[in-house]
Amino acid sequence: MAKDYATSDKFSVMKSPLYDWHRAVSAKMADFGGWEMPIEYPKGVNGFSGGTLSEHYAVRERVGIFDVSHLGKISVSGAGAKDFVNTMVTNDLAKIAAGSAQYNLFCNHDGGVIDDLIIYEFSEDKIFIIPNAANCEQVFLDLAGKAPSQIVVKNIHQDYAVFAIQGPDSRRVIAKLGLELDLGYMEFTKIALPSFPEFGEIIICRTGYTGEFGYELLPEWDSAEKLWQVLVNEISEFDGRVCGLGARDTLRTEMGYPLHGHELSLEISPVQASVNWAVVYEKDDFVGKRALEKEKQVGPKQISRALKCEDRGIPRAGMKVLNLEGEVIGQVTSGTFSPTLKVGIALALLKPEYKVSGKVQIDVRGRLSNATIVKAPFIPSRVR
Amino acid sequence: MSEVPNELHFTAEHEWVAGTEDPNIYRIGITDFAQSALGDIVYIQLPKKGLQVSTGVICGEIESTKSVSEIYSPLTGEVVRVNESLEAAPERINSDSYGAGWIAEIKITGPLPELMSAEKYRQITA
C-alpha cells in the first residue's frame, strides 16, 4: 500500500493566502502547477465531513467553496488592450462587452495550446486574464513580448485570491453576503460587500468549472482569509462543504471540460479537443489561425471523446483504448470514478473514425474494461 | 492522528493482521492510516478464495477517487474467506478499516513472518 500517497513536503513553492488555514484544518495538500493546494478535506477532524465524494455531492446537491488562488492573473491595460489581446486568442472578444468574460485558447503558431484561459473585459482599454497556474508566466511573457508600447502587461498572480462558490445554493450564499446580483452566465462585476467594506472591492463572475450554477470571487490577496472565513460560516447553513481540487477534478471530468496538460497541450490542438467552439475562424488573423484552419480542412488525426465504462474498471490518464478487434485506437487523457453515475468515465483521444455510441475497450492494468463512446457532458450542465 | 489498535500486528505496506479463533487463520485488512491516505475508496478487487499467497505478493487492488493501490499479502498460506460485502460497499474500508472493512482471512502454512507491533507502527506513521 505504500506507494501512491500524496505527500506535501516535496517541491512546494508557491502558497495560497489560505495555506495556513488549509494546514490548520488538516487538508490533504499536493502540488498543482507549482502551488501547494488542498486536494481534499478530512472526514471527522475539526468538524469536517469532507473527502472527495462528500465534497463532490455537496456541489451537485447544495453548495461547495473552493480555494483556487493558484490560478494565474494577468492585467493588460492601455489604449487598444482588447483589440491587442484579441489577436492573441482563438475566440472573438468582439462578441463580448465590458462586464463579461469569455473562454479562450492561447495558441502558438503551430496551433498548439499554450493555455486555456478566461478573459474579463473591464473596458476596451482594460483586460483581465485568468490562465492556469503553471502557464501564467508563459502567457504573460508572450503577451508582454508582443504588446505595442502603449499597452502595459502585468503578471499580478499574487494580487488576488480566487474562490469558487459552486452548486444550486450558491445564489443564496451570495445573497447572504448582502449582494443582490443579477448576473447572467459569464457576466461579472466588481463590488464591495455591504457588511464588510473593509475587504475592499471583489470581482465576482458567474462562472465555474463544475457544471453547476456558481460564481468565482476574486478578493484582494490580503483580504482573502477574512472573506474565506465568512464564506465558511455561511455555507454551513446550507450543509455546504469546503472542497478540494480532488472534487474539482471529478466535477469537471463529469462535464467533459478539458484540463490543460491532459485534453489540451502544445501537442493537442483545439481541433482535436472538444473546444473547437472556442475558435472563431471568421475572425481576422490570430496566433495559430493558419495552422488550425489547415488542420480543420485536412481533418484532425485524433479527436477527444467521452467514454463511459460498462463494468467496474476505472480509467486513468495514459491508459490505452482499443477497438473490439483489440487494436490500439487512442489513449485516455483524464479518467476517474464518476461519483454521480457511479461508474468509471474518461476523456480520451481516439482516431476520428470512432464516433459516439461506438463500443471500445480500455486497458486497465492488463484487464480490458468495456466502454461506450458517449456525448459529453456525462450529466446535464446546470451552469445557467 | 490515525487509529492503531494495540492488539493488531502491522506491515510496512500499511496492512494489519489479527488472530482469529482458529490459531492457523488470520484476518487481514488495511490500516486507518492507509485508508485515510487513499481517500474515498470506490472499488476493490478482492483476493480470490482458495488463492495460494506468499508474503509480499500482490493479491488484490484498492482504488480510490484519485489513485489505485495494490494489496500485498502479509502472510504465506491460503485465502480461506474474503469480505465479499466490500464489493458493493467498499467505503466500509474508510469508515471501519479494522472492523467491517476487513479484507480476507488467510490460513497460514508455516510460521508467521515478522510483523510490527502497534507501537512500532505508530512510530513509522507518526
Which of A323, A277, A327, A329 minimizes the C-alpha distance to A303? A329
Co-location of A244 and A175 in the same domain: yes
* A1 to B71: CB separation less than 8 angstroms, yes or no: yes
Q: Is A96 on the interface with B (CB under 8 A)?
A: no
Co-location of A57 and A179 in the same domain: yes
Crossing angle between the packed helical segments A245-254 and A52-61, to the nearest 10 degrees: 50
Closest-CA distance, B13 to chain A, in angstroms, reads 5
Confidence (pLDDT) at B1: 65
* B68 to A314: CB separation less than 8 angstroms, yes or no: yes
Distance CA A30, CA B116 (A): 29
On whether residue A120 sits in a domain, the answer given is yes
Co-location of A348 and A373 in the same domain: yes
Q: What is the mean pLDDT of residues A196-210?
A: 96
297-336 of A, contacting B, C-beta below 8 A: 312, 314, 316, 336
Nearest chain B alpha carbon to A246: B66
> What is the residue-averaged pLDDT of chain A?
94
Model ipTM?
Answer: 0.86
Interface residues of B toward A, Cβ cutoff 8 Å, are: 12-15, 30, 34, 36-40, 42-43, 61-72, 91, 94
Helix (H, G, I), strand (E, B) or coil at A291: helix
Contact, A139 vs A72, CB < 8 A? Answer: yes
Q: Is A53 on the interface with B (CB under 8 A)?
A: yes
Which of A375, A369, A376, A362 minimizes the C-alpha distance to A331? A362
Distance CA A179, CA A192 (A): 9
**At A316, which CATH number?**
2.40.30.110
Interface test with A, best of B44, B66, B68 (most A CBs within 10 A): B66
Q: Is A6 on the interface with B (CB under 8 A)?
A: yes
Co-location of A87 and A206 in the same domain: no
Cell numbers at A7, concatenated:
505527500
A20-24, A45-49, A368-372, B52-56: the lowest-pLDDT one? A45-49
Cell numbers at A170, concatenated:
450558491
Q: What is the mean pLDDT of residues B82-98?
A: 96
* A314 to B43: CB separation less than 8 angstroms, yes or no: yes
> What is the residue-averaged pLDDT of chain B?
95
Last residue in a domain, options A112, A131, A155: A155
> A106 pLDDT exceeds 90?
yes
Co-location of A308 and A365 in the same domain: yes
Q: Cβ neighbours of residue A350 under 8 Å, at least 6 residues apart? A: A302, A303, A304, A305, A321, A329, A330, A360, A373
* B39 to A52: CB separation less than 8 angstroms, yes or no: yes
Closest-CA distance, A343 to chain B, in angstroms, reads 9
Co-location of A33 and A182 in the same domain: yes
Distance CA A263, CA A350 (A): 12
Which CATH number is B9-120 given? 2.40.50.100
pLDDT tens readout for residues A128-173: 999 999 999 999 999 999 999 999 999 999 999 999 999 999 999 9
Which of B39, B65, B69 has the CB atom closest to A3's CB atom?
Answer: B69
Distance CA A54, CA B94 (A): 13
Contact, B64 vs B80, CB < 8 A? Answer: no
Q: What is the mean pLDDT of residues A229-239?
A: 95
pLDDT tens readout for residues A23-45: 999 999 999 989 999 999 998 77
Domains contained in chain A, number: 3
Co-location of A63 and A175 in the same domain: yes
pLDDT tens readout for residues A284-321: 999 999 999 999 999 999 999 999 999 988 999 999 99
| Confidence band for A2, pLDDT divided at 50, 70 and 90 | very low
Confidence (pLDDT) at A244: 97
Which of A42, A43, A246 has the CB atom closest to B66's CB atom?
Answer: A246
**At A109, which CATH number?**
3.30.70.1400
Which of B30, B42, B91 has the CB atom closest to A1's CB atom?
Answer: B30
Which chain B residues are closer than 8 Å to A39 by Cβ? 39, 66
* A52 to B66: CB separation less than 8 angstroms, yes or no: yes
Cell numbers at A55, concatenated:
465534497
Cell numbers at A181, concatenated:
446580483
Confidence (pLDDT) at A175: 95
Which chain A residues are closer than 8 Å to B62 by Cβ? 1
Co-location of A170 and A31 in the same domain: yes
pLDDT tens readout for residues B12-66: 999 999 999 999 999 999 999 999 999 999 999 999 999 999 999 999 999 999 8
Helix (H, G, I), strand (E, B) or coil at A261: coil
Q: Cβ neighbours of residue A184 under 8 Å, at least 6 residues apart? A: A206
Co-location of A111 and A191 in the same domain: no
The range of the structural domain enclosing residue A306 comes to: 301-384
Which chain A residues are closer than 8 Å to B67 by Cβ? 4
Q: What 8-state DSSP symbol labels residue A220?
A: B
Contact, A259 vs A249, CB < 8 A? Answer: yes
Contact, B69 vs A3, CB < 8 A? Answer: yes
> A9 pLDDT exceeds 60?
no
Nearest chain A alpha carbon to B60: A1
Distance CA B37, CA B123 (A): 17
Nearest chain B alpha carbon to A312: B43
Q: Does pTM top 0.90 for this prediction?
A: yes
**At A192, which CATH number?**
3.30.1360.120
Write down the domain spans for chain B: 9-120
* A246 to B65: CB separation less than 8 angstroms, yes or no: yes
Co-location of A55 and A181 in the same domain: yes
For A169, other C-beta atoms within 10 Å of its C-beta total: 24
Which chain B residues are closer than 8 Å to A6 by Cβ? 37, 66
Cell numbers at B84, concatenated:
465479499
On whether residue A221 sits in a domain, the answer given is yes
Q: What is the mean pLDDT of residues A71-87?
A: 98
Co-location of A234 and A314 in the same domain: no
On whether residue A81 sits in a domain, the answer given is yes
Which of B12, B37, B39 has the CB atom closest to A246's CB atom?
Answer: B39
Q: What is the sign, positive or negative, of the torsion defined by CA atoms of B87, B93, B99, B100?
A: negative
Q: Is A252 on the interface with B (CB under 8 A)?
A: no
| Confidence band for A377, pLDDT divided at 50, 70 and 90 | very high
Interface test with A, best of B65, B69, B94 (most A CBs within 10 A): B65
| Confidence band for A18, pLDDT divided at 50, 70 and 90 | very high
Contact, A58 vs A243, CB < 8 A? Answer: yes
> B2 pLDDT exceeds 90?
no
Cell numbers at A311, concatenated:
463494468
Asked if omega into A17 is within 30° of 0 (cis), the reply is no
Which of B69, B72, B91 has the CB atom closest to A4's CB atom?
Answer: B69
A and B: number of Cβ contacts within 8 A = 63
For B120, other C-beta atoms within 10 Å of its C-beta total: 14
